[in-house]
Amino acid sequence: MMKALLSTCLLLALLSPALPLKCRKAVNRTGLTYDRYIRQYCKFGQDFCSASVLRTNLVKFQEQLLNRCSSSISCFSGHYSFTAGDGKFFQMKKHCCKTELCNNATLSLPDRNMLAENGLHCPSCFSKGTIMCKSEKTINCLENETQCIQSTVALVTGGLQAHIFTFQGCGTTDFCAIGKKPIKIIGDGNFVLSATQESCYNASRISHKPEHEE
Ligand SMILES: *[C@@H]1O[C@H](CO)[C@@H](O)[C@H](O)[C@H]1NC(C)=O
Ligand SMILES: *[C@@H]1O[C@H](CO)[C@@H](O)[C@H](O)[C@H]1NC(C)=O
Ligand SMILES: *[C@@H]1O[C@H](CO)[C@@H](O)[C@H](O)[C@H]1NC(C)=O
Ligand SMILES: *[C@@H]1O[C@H](CO)[C@@H](O)[C@H](O)[C@H]1NC(C)=O
């Protein structure tokens, strides 16, 4: 049975004009850059290529750049970021595409201290565990973070260790959108973040400092 299946698959693969997708795989990475890529033949079910950059200090300061094969089930282009209480943050940009070697986007993340405040603010807090932290102060939102977020999140870094925490803070609309997806997971490689509970609403203007939109 297995053999028959296998040979049918082989035959189909030989007859089919659709060869496996090839994606760029970044090699010789330093920080958030790479100087070379290799062609990676994607496996069955990997119908997308992805490029992503990520920076976070949720557990400790960590950065990651990845270009590789991916799957349409779990690849969503976007700019996912939040700034929480306690100086904790998560920044990630991801680009997903489905043609040969298409994951060549040069993604970069500006330094944290280059991010400008956008005139909005949100309640903020951060704590380990699953009990929602209490906000005692507000934080000023940065750049594209226009939403106030309350979330319980599990971050799995490099293997099986899961860090669970709750936070309130500012985030992007893309980050908020993962709460509405059937699979509430973002990340790549060594960083998989799943939002088990999430609520978002528009951040309010900082009243003592009226600002005009550009
Ligand atoms: C890896 O990158 C460094 C710095 O970008 C470069 O000097 C070095 O030659 C590269 N090594 C390989 C094996 O490509
Ligand atoms: C990136 O890939 C696209 C689609 O394959 C191609 O049109 C474009 O020229 C590539 N850009 C670079 C910088 O390689
Ligand atoms: C904010 O969003 C715009 C448009 O999507 C994008 O060009 C810009 O790079 C984003 N800013 C940051 C800091 O990522
Ligand atoms: C939130 O902000 C967006 C963009 O500024 C606006 O279109 C939307 O109506 C606002 N939603 C609420 C509930 O105020």
Residue-wise DSSP of 135-190? P-EEEEEETT--EEEEEEEEEEETTTEEEEEEEEEEE-HHHHHGGGSSS-EEEETT
Output the pLDDT for position 120. Answer: 98
pLDDT tens digits, one per residue of 17-43: 567 899 999 988 888 888 889 999 999
- Number of structural domains (the chain) is 1
Output the pLDDT for position 150. Answer: 96
| Rg over CA atoms, the chain | 20
For residue 114, the SS3 value is helix
* Amino acid type, 69: C
**Which residue range is the domain that position 150 belongs to?**
20-205
Percent of the chain at pLDDT exceeding 90: 65
Give mean pLDDT, residues 6-10: 50
What average pLDDT does the structure give for the chain? 88
* Amino acid type, 21: L
Atom of ligand 2 nearest to the CA of 100: 5
Cβ within 8 Å of residue 165, ≥6 positions away: 58, 126, 127, 128, 129, 152, 153, 155
In a domain, 9, yes or no: no
Q: Give the angle subtended at the CA of 183 by the CAs of 97 and 180, to the nearest 5°.
A: 95
| Statement: the pTM of the whole predicted model exceeds 0.85 | no
Q: Are 191 and 57 in contact (CB under 8 A)?
A: no
CATH classification of the domain holding 118 = 2.10.60.10
For residue 108, the SS3 value is coil
Helix, strand, coil content of the chain in percent (nearest 5):
15, 50, 35
In a domain, 1, yes or no: no
In a domain, 165, yes or no: yes
In a domain, 41, yes or no: yes
pLDDT > 50? residue 214: no
In a domain, 74, yes or no: yes
In a domain, 11, yes or no: no
pLDDT tens digits, one per residue of 128-160: 999 999 999 999 999 999 999 999 999 998 877
Give mean pLDDT, residues 72-82: 92
Helix ranges (DSSP H) in the chain: 2-15, 173-177
pLDDT tens digits, one per residue of 105-119: 888 999 999 999 999
In a domain, 212, yes or no: no
Question: Residue 145 Cα, ligand 3 centroid: separation in angstroms?
Answer: 10
Pocket of ligand 3 (CB under 6 A): 79, 110, 115, 143-144
Protein residue whose Cα sits closest to atom 4 of ligand 2: 102
Protein residue whose Cα sits closest to atom 5 of ligand 1: 35
In a domain, 8, yes or no: no
For the ranges 15-24, 105-114, 179-188, 198-207, the lowest mean pLDDT is seen at 15-24
